[in-house]
C-alpha cells in the first residue's frame, strides 16, 4: 500500500473584465487576426482595480473547498504558485490563509513562473506521500496584467489574469498505475536561459518591472521540451501516450499545444484548451483548465490526466495523475 495525493476538489476564479483582441487595435499596431493566428488567443480576463492576486486565489480556493465539501480548517497546508505576489513578503499564500479564515496549518508560495503549478503539485504530493500533510490546497494565481509593458505588442496581448485551485487529499493506493491520485512527476530547470523570459525588476532595481520575452526562442524550447517531459512522466508511471484520457497543458499558445499533442500522438479531442478565452495566465493556467474541464463534464473520476508546463528560468515539468 502507498499513500496517494488524490484530487478531492477543484475550482477557479476569473476577474469580471474581459478584453477582446480587437480592443488592442486602438492602442497598438496589431490585429485580432494576428493575435488569433499566432497564439490562438481571442480574449483574456484582467483583474479589476484593486483586485489582487491573493483576492483571486481566495475565490478559487473557496470554490475548490466547496467542491470538496470541506471547511478551511480541515486543510493542513496551502501551496500557492505565483510570480505576481502582491507584496515582496509576506507570501500571497499566507494572505490566502487569512482570507479563508484558516487558523491552523501552514502556507507558502512557490515561484516557478508558468511551470509554477506543476512545481506546487510536486511539493504537495511529496508532503502528502511523506505524511507531512493530509489535505493540501494547491493554488495557481496570477495578475500578469501588472507586469505587462502595455506598449510591447510582442508580449502584452498574450497574457491574462485568474486563479485555479485543487484540493488534494491523502488516500490509500495499491502502488500501481490504476490508483487514483498523482502517479508520477518529472521536473527540470536550466538557469542558463534566463535572458529569453524574465521580468526586468525586483529588489535589484527597486521597481516591480515588466515582462521581457524573446518569443521565438521560448517557442522553440517549449515545443522541444514539453512532449519530452510529458513522456518522461508517463514512463515513470509505467504508462504511454495511448493511456492518456486528457492532456491538460499550460495554456500559452495554441500552436505550442498542438505541436505537443502531435508529438505525443494525441488527437486534439483529448486536449483541454482554454487559451482562447483566458490567454496565458502563467501558474494559474493548468488549474483553470482542470476546473473548466471538470465543469464541462469532460474530466471524470478515473480519467488519466497529464499536465505539462514551461516558463521563465527556464523551468518545466509534467505531472501524471488519475482523477
Ligand atoms: C510571441 C509569439 C506569438 C510570436 O509569434 P511568431 O510567429 O514567433 O512571430 P515573430 O516573433 O516571428 O514575429 C513576427 C512579426 O510580428 C510582429 N509582432 C509581434 N507581436 C505582434 C502583435 N501583437 N501584432 C502584430 N505583429 C506583432 C513582430 O514584431 C515581428 O515583426 P517583424 O518580422 O517585422 O520583426 C510566439 O513566438 C510565441 O507564442 N512564443 C512563445 C511565447 C510563450 O509561450 N511564452 C510564455 C511561455 S510560458
Q: What's the pLDDT at 170?
A: 98
Average pLDDT over the chain, rounded to an integer:
98
- The ligand 1 atom at the shortest distance from the C-alpha of residue 155 is 1
For a ligand 1 pocket test, name from 216, 285, 309 the mutation site with the most ligand atoms within 8 angstroms of its C-beta: 216
Residue nearest to ligand 1 atom 32, measured at CA: 154
Q: Which residue from 148, 108, 121 is spatially nearest to 286, judged by alpha carbons?
A: 121
Q: Which residues contact 202 (CB under 8 A, 6 or more apart)?
A: 208, 209
Eight-class DSSP state of 214:
-
Residue 39 Cα to ligand 1 middle (Å): 9
Q: What's the pLDDT at 221?
A: 97
- The ligand 1 atom at the shortest distance from the C-alpha of residue 311 is 48
- The ligand 1 atom at the shortest distance from the C-alpha of residue 255 is 39
- The ligand 1 atom at the shortest distance from the C-alpha of residue 309 is 48
Q: What's the pLDDT at 310?
A: 98
Q: Write down the pTM of the prediction.
A: 0.97
Active-site positions? 114, 250, 280
Low-confidence ranges of the chain (pLDDT < 50): none
Eight-class DSSP state of 125:
H
Residue 276 Cα to ligand 1 middle (Å): 16
Residue 262 Cα to ligand 1 middle (Å): 22
Q: Which residues contact 315 (CB under 8 A, 6 or more apart)?
A: 112, 113, 115, 119, 187, 188, 189
Q: What's the pLDDT at 129?
A: 97
- The ligand 1 atom at the shortest distance from the C-alpha of residue 31 is 24
Q: What's the pLDDT at 138?
A: 98
Q: Tell me if 115 sits within 8 A of 250, measured CB to CB.
A: yes
HEC-encoded secondary structure of 41-77: CCEEEECCCCCCHHHHHHHHHHHHHHHHCCCHHHCCE
C-alpha cell at 52: 489582487
Q: Name the CATH superfamily housing domain 2-173.
A: Thiolase/Chalcone synthase (3.40.47.10)
Question: Rounded to whole angstroms, how far apart are CA atoms 292 and 12?
Answer: 8
Question: Rounded to whole angstroms, how far apart are CA atoms 8 and 17?
Answer: 30
Alpha helices, DSSP H, located in 89-188? 92-100, 116-129
Residues with CB under 6 A from ligand 1: 30, 34-35, 38-39, 114, 153-154, 157, 213, 215-216, 218-219, 222, 252-253, 256, 280, 310-311
Per-residue pLDDT of 202-258, as tens digits, reads: 999 999 999 999 999 999 999 999 999 999 999 999 999 999 999 999 999 999 999
Residue nearest to ligand 1 atom 35, measured at CA: 154
- The ligand 1 atom at the shortest distance from the C-alpha of residue 218 is 41
Residue ranges, CATH 3.40.47.10, the chain: 2-173, 181-322
Residue nearest to ligand 1 atom 40, measured at CA: 215
Residue nearest to ligand 1 atom 44, measured at CA: 252
Residue 40 Cα to ligand 1 middle (Å): 12
Q: How far is CA 105 from the centre of its chain?
A: 23
Residue 215 Cα to ligand 1 middle (Å): 6
Residue 255 Cα to ligand 1 middle (Å): 12
Q: What's the pLDDT at 207?
A: 95
Residue 216 Cα to ligand 1 middle (Å): 7
Per-residue pLDDT of 157-190, as tens digits, reads: 999 999 999 999 999 999 999 999 999 999 999 9
Residue nearest to ligand 1 atom 7, measured at CA: 38
Burial level of 106, CB count in 10 A (0-12/13-18/19+)? middle
Q: What's the pLDDT at 316?
A: 98
Residue nearest to ligand 1 atom 31, measured at CA: 154
Q: What is the CATH number of domain 181-322?
A: 3.40.47.10
Residue nearest to ligand 1 atom 10, measured at CA: 216
Amino acid at each position: 500500500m502507498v499513500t496517494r495525493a488524490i484530487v478531492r476538489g477543484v475550482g477557479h476564479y476569473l476577474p469580471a473584465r474581459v478584453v477582446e483582441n480587437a480592443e488592442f487595435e486602438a492602442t497598438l499596431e496589431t490585429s485580432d487576426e494576428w493575435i488569433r493566428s499566432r497564439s490562438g488567443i481571442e480574449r483574456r480576463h484582467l483583474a479589476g482595480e484593486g483586485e489582487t492576486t491573493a483576492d483571486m486565489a481566495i475565490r478559487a480556493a473557496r470554490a475548490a473547498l466547496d467542491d470538496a465539501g470541506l471547511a478551511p480548517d480541515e486543510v493542513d497546508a496551502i501551496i500557492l504558485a505565483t510570480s505576481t505576489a502582491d507584496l515582496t513578503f509576506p507570501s500571497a499564500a499566507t494572505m490566502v490563509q487569512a482570507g479563508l479564515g484558516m487558523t491552523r496549518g501552514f502556507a507558502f508560495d512557490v515561484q516557478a513562473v508558468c511551470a509554477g503549478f506543476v512545481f506546487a503539485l510536486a511539493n504537495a504530493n511529496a508532503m502528502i506521500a511523506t505524511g507531512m500533510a493530509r489535505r493540501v490546497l494547491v493554488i495557481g494565481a496570477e495578475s500578469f496584467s501588472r507586469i505587462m509593458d502595455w506598449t510591447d505588442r510582442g508580449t502584452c496581448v498574450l497574457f491574462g489574469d485568474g486563479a485555479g485551485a485543487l484540493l488534494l487529499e491523502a488516500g490509500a493506493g495499491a502502488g500501481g498505475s490504476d490508483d487514483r491520485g498523482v502517479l508520477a512527476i518529472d521536473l527540470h530547470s536550466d538557469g542558463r536561459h534566463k535572458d529569453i523570459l524574465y521580468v526586468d525588476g525586483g529588489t535589484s532595481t527597486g521597481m516591480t518591472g515588466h515582462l521581457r520575452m524573446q518569443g521565438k526562442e521560448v517557442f522553440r524550447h517549449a515545443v522541444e521540451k514539453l512532449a519530452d517531459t510529458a513522456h518522461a512522466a508517463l514512463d515513470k508511471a509505467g504508462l504511454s501516450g495511448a493511456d492518456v484520457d486528457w492532456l491538460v497543458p499550460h495554456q500559452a499558445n495554441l500552436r505550442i499545444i498542438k505541436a505537443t499533442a502531435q508529438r505525443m500522438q494525441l488527437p486534439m479531442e483529448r486536449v483541454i484548451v482554454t487559451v482562447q478565452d483566458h490567454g496565458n495566465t502563467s501558474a494559474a493556467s493548468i488549474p483553470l483548465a482542470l476546473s473548466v474541464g471538470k465543469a464541462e463534464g469532460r474530466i471524470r473520476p478515473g480519467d488519466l490526466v497529464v499536465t505539462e508546463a514551461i516558463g521563465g528560468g527556464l523551468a518545466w515539468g509534467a505531472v501524471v495523475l488519475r482523477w
